[in-house]
Structure 1
Amino acid sequence: MSREIVAGVDGSPESLAAADWAAREAGHRGLSLRLVHAWRWEPLDLPLLQDPAEQQQAARDVLREAETTLAERYPRLELSAEVIGDTPVAALLGTVRRAEALVVGSRGHGAVTGFLLGSYGQQLIAGSPVPVVAVRARDGAPAEPPVGEVLVGQHGSPGDSAPALRFAFETAVARGAAVRAVRAWSLPPLLAYSPASMRLADEAGGLVPYEEKALREALAPWRERYPEVPVTEHVELGSAGQVLLSTSGSAQLLVVGRRAHRGALGSRIGSVAHAALHLAPCPVAVVPHEVDAQD
């Protein structure tokens, strides 16, 4: 069964940019691309003429336009397109069983009110079993190939960030890019100090060497698996979101992990992913922790 990248298309400039980014990524990785447009007839309680056949045809036209554009731009790409009669979240999540990633559009900086960080986008990111890449309209412009490092956040134990590191290294290999792995750390509050934790820090020579050692250990298996990828280790005092954003200016992709938190108000994607999706100047890949990176 062939692997693929899935891109959601709704006719907006953001979704068309996402489809173009997904096409380039599929080409880099030697994968096929599947375009998906979700459409379901739901009559509105308004005094307007509503023709389901016309709306369905409009949905097909949106998808056909995107498919035609990409087929002309990337003639060697294996490409398919499908209109699915369902809500956007259900339609897209239902297509990712064979996918390496799901790519969607984002509306940009600041107070985002568009698809990505609205209820649909948050449900997609929190519920997807595969990485979700958010692309802004300018990120998908086909003029120049992307340049810069693949930036990835590392936290906790090697296992905690293994899925994000795996995606970052695979992307770097496909694009011939370098990886910058960032580990942010903070001074623990007084009550968090314990003899065991301080002993580990003392054995490493201090808090900074301890954090540097933790990053090296997390990177070790990926450096061994992908020796051709240049790697820069970056350890900095500060919050993870702040440190990642401060180093993302020259990145071609920012990769962060997420563990979905479910509460009374629904799924949340975590503060680091939320900050990256709002403010990073490059495309952002949010990788679920549940992915087994050791396969």
Structure 2
Amino acid sequence: MKATVPLPVLVAVDGSEPSLRALDWAADEAVLRGLPLRLVYASLWERYEGTHLAADPDRPSEELVAEDIVETAARRARRRRPDVPVSTDVLAEEAEYALVRESRDAALLVTGSRGRSGLAEALLGSVSLTLAGHAHCPTVVVRGSHDNQTTTPLHRRIVVGVGGHGKQSPAVRFACEEARRRGANLDAVRAWRVPARETTDHPLMSPEAARLHEQEAVDVLDTALENVPGDIEVHRHTVEGPARSVLVAASHDADLLVVGARRRPRTFGLQLGRVAHGVLHHSACPVVVVPEPV
């Protein structure tokens, strides 16, 4: 019987400082999961940046630069985590297409939040959003000052945003697994608001409307968390306000923020809701976007 090869933690590298911090985070996560680490450079940006470093006229400069980037990154990963198997790939393709495809065979995809130059920074911001919206596995965008705290978390707190569908979601399950791996508490957050139409002019006076909507948020949390294993310490939070703002505020003393993104099969374009999009731009800690079927 052929042994099953474990899916790797896949990390996008481009030589920038943010991508190297993402590499460190990914190497630590690979240790926690007992998985191999795969480093991928996927880009056609060198031709646009005007880099001409090829010593061999038969090889394009991009290939030389890419090989140097992944070799340097692999050495860094092996120094940090000598016990993690490391493999590398250079793909001469646009990053968003290549990495979304490669995510089919990954347990987790990790990327930094920006790139090497002004042009690359804009492109990488776009790529990170594309990956979060289309990757086939959970995607981590490493943000904030918590980059090297995977195995020794500062706050021992995983935050998960709970949606309104009233059942345990892939995002909640992912957050539970991460909390267990890290020995962290799980903070489940459900934001709520009173709709504008339910003002003091409405037959339901505002205080009563607020009470009803807050209770609805409590019920949603209870349903979403009813199957959480008993060995995980869970804290429930219902907070009035826009979900994006509530979760960004929670990220300031968290080691990881987990949100779900509803996937619509065969739909073109960015598949991120306003909440996921907002926290990816403003979170103070790494963000995990977990695909959730519609």
TM-score range, shorter chain: 0.7 to 0.9
1:140 offset after TM fit, Å? 2.7
Residue number among 161, 169, 190 corresponding to 1:153 in the alignment: 161
Query: Which residue identity lines up with residue 224 of structure 2 in the other structure?
Result: A
Distance 1:139 1:154, change over 3 A: same
2:219 to 203, 213, 217: 213
Q: Distance in 1 between matches of 2:214 and 2:85?
A: 48
TM-score, reference length from structure 2: 0.81
1:81 aligns with 2:88: yes
1:176 to 183, 188, 201: 183
**Deviation at 1:16?**
0.7
Could you tell me the percent identity over the aligned residues? 36
The offset of 1:287, in angstroms, is 1.3
Secondary structure of the residue aligned to 2:179 is helix
Output the CA distance in 2 between the equivalents of 1:49 and 1:19: 25
1:44 deviates by: 5.9
Could you say which residue in structure 1 is the equivalent of 2:147?
A: 140
The answer to whether the 8 A contact 2:143-2:287 is kept is no
Q: What is the aligned partner in structure 2 of residue 18 from structure 1?
A: 22
Alpha carbons of 1:115 and 1:282: their partners in 2 closer, same or farther (altered >3 Å)? farther
Name the residue aligned to 2:280.
277
Given the alignment of the two structures, is residue 231 of structure 1 paired with residue 234 of structure 2, yes or no? yes
In the TM superposition, what is the alpha-carbon distance from 1:40 to its structure 2 partner? 4.6
Equivalent pair of 1:4/1:99 in contact (CA under 8 Å): yes
Q: What is the alpha-carbon distance in structure 2 between the residues aligned to residue 143 and residue 231 of structure 1? A: 20
Q: CA RMSD in A?
A: 3.3
Which residue does the alignment assign to 1:242?
245
Q: Stretches of 4+ moved more than 6 A in 1?
A: none
Q: Secondary structure, in 3 states, of the residue corresponding to 2:255?
A: strand
Aligned-residue offset at 1:107: 3.8
Quick check: 1:167 aligned with 2:174? yes
Q: 1:266 to 1:115 in 2, by over 3 A?
A: same
Supply the AA of the counterpart residue of 1:146.
Answer: P
Aligned residues: 272
Letter of the 1:158 counterpart: G
Question: 1:265 offset after TM fit, Å?
Answer: 9.7
Structure 2 contact 192–238 (Cα < 8 Å) conserved: yes
The 8 Å contact of residues 18 and 137 in structure 1, kept in 2 or not, is answered as no
| Structure 2 match to 1:30 | 34
SS of aligned partner of 1:168: helix
Distance 1:116 1:220, change over 3 A: farther
Rounded Cα–Cα distance in structure 2 between residues aligned with 1:211 and 1:96: 34
